[in-house]
Structure 1
Amino acid sequence: MKSTKILILLLTMVCFMSCEKTFLSPDLETGINGESYYANDGEIETGVLNIYDGIQGVNALKITNNNLNHAIQVEFYVTEMRSDNTRTKSSEGEAAQFESFTIESTNGIVADYYRSYYNVIYRANLVLANLGAASPEKAIEFEAEAKFLRAYAYFNLVRLYGDIPLVDRIIPPLDTETAFTRVSSATIYELIVSDLETAVTGLGDAGPKDRASKAAAQGLLARVFLTLGRYGEAQGLCEDIMSPGRGFSLESDFKNIFYNEGNDEVIFAIGFLPDSNDDSQNFSAEWLNAVGRTSGVNYVTADARASLDANGGNRTILSYREDSGQAGQYQVVKYLPNGDVSLGIPVTSPDPTSAGNDWIVLRYADVLLMHVEAIMAGGPSTTSSNALASFQMVRDRAGLTTAVTSITKEELLEERRVELAFENQRFFDLVRFGMAQDILSAFSTANNLGYSATDLLLPIPQVEIGLSNGLLTQNPGY
C-alpha cells in the first residue's frame, strides 16, 4: 500500500507459499504463524495490508526471484494483449503468445497470474480466519475489506480461467481435493456477490483511494452484475455512486486522471511508490522499448490507433504516442514513468524501472459507461435520457460535444474502448458484450493470427495440473 505500507519480512514469511506446494495452502516455514501472530487489531491490520501487497505484486526488475508473485504487474499480458488493443513490438518470446492467440499451458506469465491471485485469496482467508481477535467495530471493517479483495481476485480469475477451485477458508496442505477441484463459474460468482455485498455494507468512503471503499465495492459489484445480466441491480449501484453527495466527478483534464493521483475521478487504485524495490512497479518500464527487460510489450495496434484517431477526441494524444526510437511503432502514454515534455506529462519516477504510477482499477468515467450499459440491459440500443446524460458527460470531457440522441451497443463498446484504452478492460468488455468471437476472429484473420473460440479462456497452468496428480483438468483447446 502506498499510503500505509508497513509490511515486513515477518508477514511475507508467514504468508508466502512454498514453490513445491499448491498455491492455495502453503506450509509455514517460520516459528511465527497465523495462529500466534494475529492477536489484536493492529496485527490484523497488517494482515489486511498484506492482501494489498499481494495484489501490488513484486517489481520483477528489482527483485528477480521468479517464484515471487507479480499479480497486477503482469495483468496487461492476459487482458490487453489478448484483445485487439496491444501487441509486442518484436513478436518474440513468451509474450508473443498472447498477441498471436497461441498461448501454451506452460506459459510462465499465465502461471504467474494464477499463482499471484490465489496467493491474494490465501491472504484474505488468513485475515478472515482471525477476525475473532479483532474488536467488534474493527472486525466489521476488516471482514468487509478482506472480502472485497477476495472478490476482486476471484472475479479476475473466473473471467480469465473459467471454472476454478473455490477456496473460501484456510485449508491444510494435504487438502488437495479443495485445492485442485474445479467448481462451476456460477458457484464462484455466488461467493463474489456475497463477498461484495458484505463489503458494501461494511465499508465507508472516507479512506484513501488505494484502500477498499463502499464506492469501490459498489462499482465492482455493478460490473459483476453486468457480467451476470443482472442489469437492474447494476443500474442502482451505479446511480448510488453517481449521487452528488458521494464526491466523485470527471477530471476536466484527461491527463490528470493518471498524473494527479488520488483525484476525484479515481474510485479505487493499487498504489505504488517510486524508487522503492518493495513498493514500485515495472510494467511502466516494460511498455517502453529498451527500458525494461523486454524489447517492448503492450505496444498499440493499428486497430486501436484507428479507433482512437476516429473517436478519441482529446484523449487520443494522451493515450498513445510514436516510439521516438523507431518510426511506425506506438507506445501507451498512460502511466509513463519518465514523462513527456511535449505532452506536459511530468516525470513520476527518476528511475523508470522503479515506477510509482498507481494502477487505476476503477474510475468514475467507467461507472458512467456501466450506467449506460445497465440501462441498455443487453438490448441493441437505448434512447433513455439517463443513459444519454451519462454517455454525454464522458464525450463532453473528450471534447466531443455534439449532442447524442441514441446509443447503440456498438457505440457504447467503442466509447469504452477509447475512454478506457490500455486499462485492461477491452478483453473483458468484448466478452461481456457478447462480441468477442466476431471481433477477435475478424482481427485475427486480418492480421494472420491464430484466434479460435477456445482462446476466450486461458489454460489452467500446466504446473498446477502436475501438482494435482491428475485431479485438475485442462480447459478445451490446450
Structure 2
Amino acid sequence: MKIKKIYQFLLLFASLSMNQACNESLLDEDPKSTLAPDNTFVSTQGFETALTGLYVQVRDEWGWYAGGLTYAPMFAGTDLSVTGNRHPHITPFEDYADNIYSSTTIVNAYWNWAYTTIANANLIIEAADNEEVNWKSPSDKNRIKAEARFIRAYAYRELIYLYGDVPLVDQVYRPFRLDFERNPVSEVVHFMIEDLKFAVEYLPETAGIDGKLVKGAAQHLLAETYLKANQPDLAEQSASDLINSGVFQLMQTRFGNHLQEEGDVFSDLFKEHNQNRTSGNLESIWVIQQEYNVNGGGAERFTDWSRRAWGPYYSQINGMTLCDSLGGRSLGRLIPLDWWIDAYEEDDIRASKHNIRKEYWYNNPEHENYGEKVEMTEEWKKSGTLYPSTTKFYFGKSDDDPSYLNNDKDRVKFRLAETYLLLAEAHLAQGELDKAANAINTVRNRANASPITAGQVSLDFILDERARELFGEVPRRITLNRVGKLLERVKQYNPLSVHTIRDYHVLWPIPQTAIDANSEAVLEQNEGYE
C-alpha cells in the first residue's frame, strides 16, 4: 500500500471524526478506493498500514508546508536565534507584540497537526479492541496500541507547551462533539503519563524496522513528562531504566558510513545514513525516516526545513555557489545568537570545524577571488547571508544536487545524550547536585569538555548544556516552556525579542477556527489574545 494513499485515508477519516465538515449524502457515497476502516482494521497487516500513515503524520511535523507547518518558529524568538532572511511564517514569533493572532498560520497549523494526529491515534486504539481482528501474533494488539498511545502522548506534549490547557480528546466521538472545554494541563499530563506507561510495558526493546518506536522512546518521553508533573523521583527512575537497559549507549568513537572523511564522533552522529541502529548508531532512540526516494521516506515536498533554516544564504554572495560541503541550498532563516557560538570550551568537539562552520571560502572557479577566505560582514550576518552556524543539517540527499530543497536525512527525535540531561534535571529537582553533575559530565566527557562540580549545577546550566549538545535537534520553544524559562531566557539573551515579548506570549492563542467550530460550549481564549 503506497504511503501517500494511506496518509490521505487517515487524514480524511480524522476530519470526519473531529469536524462536522460532511453531510449524510457524502457519507452515503460509494468509496473511491478499497481502503476503508472496515476492511483495514481486520488484521495485523491492516493496522501496520494505518500506523505507517501515523508515522508519516509525525514526520510531517517539521515541514508539511501544505498545512502551514514549518520548523523555524520553534527557535525564532527564543534564547538561541534571531531571524535573518525573514519569512512571514516565522517573523511573528520573533516580533511578538501585536504580531501573533488566533488566525496566524503557524498557530493554526500546529493545533491542527496535533489534533489530527490524536484523532488518527484514537482511531487505531479503538479499532484494536475489536475482538474480530485477526492478529498475526498475540502480542500484536498491545504493541500496536502502544505505538498509537505513544504518538498520542507526543501530540499532547506539543499542545500543552504551546497552548496550555487544551481539550482532552480520548476517543473517536460518534456523533461529533461540539461542546469541548479546555482541560487543565495537569489532567492532560496525567493522561500522557498513562499512555506512556502503557507504551513502556508493551513496546519492544528493539525493532526490526528502522524508525519503529521502541520501549526506550517511551521511557525517555515518560521521564520528561514526569518532570512536568513535578515527580522528579519517577523521572529519575524512568531515565535511569533507559540508561541502564544496555540497549543504548553514547557513541564514544567514530562510526558509520563516513570514516574515510575528516570528522569526529559528534559529527558522525549527523552525517548522512548514520542515524539508525542498523548503521551502528547505538545512541539514537527514535529516528524519523525521511531519506530521499526510500519507501516511506522523503521527497521534494518540504519534508524537513531544518537545513534551509539554519544554513546561511551564502549563495547570494558574488563568488559563492551552492555546494554539498556547505550544506546545499540553505536560506538563512535563523541566525544563532553569539552566546551560543561562544558557549563552548576550546577543546569541546561539539564546536569543532566539523560541527560549527565559522569560515567560508569563495568557491566559484570563475570568480577572481576563488579559493580565498570570505570576510564576513555585519550586514551579511544580519541579513542571514553569511554567519557561523551548525553543520548538523548538512547533506540530506545522496545524489549530487546541492540545490535540492529539503533535509531528507533521517532525523533523530530522541537520543541518549538528552536522556542524561533529563536525568540531571530530575536529580537537580531532588537536590541531588552531585548526581546531577555526574549525569551532565557523562555528556561533557564525550565532548571533551571539562567536568563540572555540584556547585555549578543549576537549571540554567542544564539549559546551556542542552543548547551545546542538542542545538537545532529539540524544539527550543517546547523545552523553555516546559521548564518555565521562555520569558526569562528571551529577555536575557535575545537582543530583538527582548523589546517585544510580553508575559502572555509564553503561550500561543487558541486558533479562532477551533473556538468558532466548538459551537455548543465556550472554548476560552488564552489571556492577552482577542
- Do Structure 1 and Structure 2 share a fold, with TM-score over 0.5? yes
TM superposition shift of 1:401: 3.4
| TM-aligned CA distance change 1:197 to 1:183, over 3 Å | same
**How many pairs does the alignment contain?**
453
CA distance, structure 2, for counterparts of residue 209 and residue 276 of structure 1: 12
TM superposition shift of 1:139: 0.4
For residue 270 of structure 2, give the secondary structure of its aligned residue in structure 1. Answer: helix
The counterpart of 1:355, out of the listed 407, 414, 431, is 407
Kept after mapping to 2: 8 A contact 1:444/1:451: no
| TM-aligned CA distance change 1:218 to 1:59, over 3 Å | closer
Structure 1 counterpart of 2:201: 201
Structure 1 counterpart of 2:416: 364
Q: CA RMSD in A?
A: 3.2
Kept after mapping to 1: 8 A contact 2:72/2:333: no
| TM-aligned CA distance change 1:141 to 1:223, over 3 Å | same
CA distance, structure 2, for counterparts of residue 177 and residue 96 of structure 1: 34
| TM-aligned CA distance change 1:14 to 1:392, over 3 Å | same
Q: 2:447 is aligned with what amino acid? A: A
The counterpart of 2:516, out of the listed 466, 469, 472, is 466
Kept after mapping to 1: 8 A contact 2:125/2:148: yes
Kept after mapping to 2: 8 A contact 1:250/1:365: no
Q: 1:473 is aligned with what amino acid? A: E
2:88 pairs with 1:93 = yes
Structure 1 counterpart of 2:151: 149
TM superposition shift of 1:222: 0.1
| TM-aligned CA distance change 1:96 to 1:322, over 3 Å | farther
Show the 5 A alignment for 1:2-13.
7-13=2-8
TM superposition shift of 1:240: 0.9
CA distance, structure 1, for counterparts of residue 14 and residue 517 of structure 2: 11
| TM-aligned CA distance change 1:311 to 1:26, over 3 Å | farther
TM superposition shift of 1:331: 3.7
Q: 1:255 is aligned with what amino acid? A: S
Structure 2 unaligned spans of 5+: 254-264, 316-321, 323-327, 361-373, 382-386
Q: Deviations over 1:109-136 (max 9, x none)?
A: 2211111121111111111121122524
2:139 pairs with 1:137 = yes
TM superposition shift of 1:295: 4.6
Structure 1 counterpart of 2:392: 334
| TM-aligned CA distance change 1:363 to 1:272, over 3 Å | same
Structure 2 counterpart of 1:261: 275
CA distance, structure 2, for counterparts of residue 188 and residue 404 of structure 1: 36
| TM-aligned CA distance change 1:295 to 1:477, over 3 Å | farther
Q: Deviations over 1:232-263 (max 9, x none)?
A: 00111111111153233234311122221111
CA distance, structure 2, for counterparts of residue 370 and residue 217 of structure 1: 14
| TM-aligned CA distance change 1:294 to 1:338, over 3 Å | closer
Q: 2:513 is aligned with what amino acid? A: V
TM superposition shift of 1:286: 2.4
Structure 1 counterpart of 2:235: 234
Q: Deviations over 1:410-440 (max 9, x none)?
A: 3222212211112234333333444333222
Show the 5 A alignment for 1:121-132.
121-131=118-128, 132=130
CA distance, structure 2, for counterparts of residue 422 and residue 23 of structure 1: 33
Q: Deviations over 1:303-357 (max 9, x none)?
A: 33233x4588221245543595964334432121369xxxxxx989766324322
For residue 466 of structure 2, give the secondary structure of its aligned residue in structure 1. Answer: helix
CA distance, structure 2, for counterparts of residue 304 and residue 162 of structure 1: 28
CA distance, structure 2, for counterparts of residue 109 and residue 94 of structure 1: 7
Show the 5 A alignment for 1:387-406.
387-402=436-451, 404-406=453-455
The counterpart of 2:116, out of the listed 98, 115, 119, is 119
Kept after mapping to 2: 8 A contact 1:338/1:349: no
| TM-aligned CA distance change 1:395 to 1:177, over 3 Å | same
TM superposition shift of 1:18: 8.8
Show the 5 A alignment for 1:315-330.
315-317=350-352, 318-322=354-358, 327=377, 328=381, 329-330=387-388
| TM-aligned CA distance change 1:444 to 1:404, over 3 Å | closer
Kept after mapping to 2: 8 A contact 1:14/1:34: no
Q: Output the TM-score relative to the length of structure 1.
A: 0.84
Structure 1 unaligned spans of 5+: 1-5, 340-345
Q: Which one is further off, 425-434 or 132-141?
A: 425-434
CA distance, structure 1, for counterparts of residue 210 and residue 494 of structure 2: 38
Q: Which one is further off, 429-438 or 159-168?
A: 429-438
Structure 2 counterpart of 1:191: 191
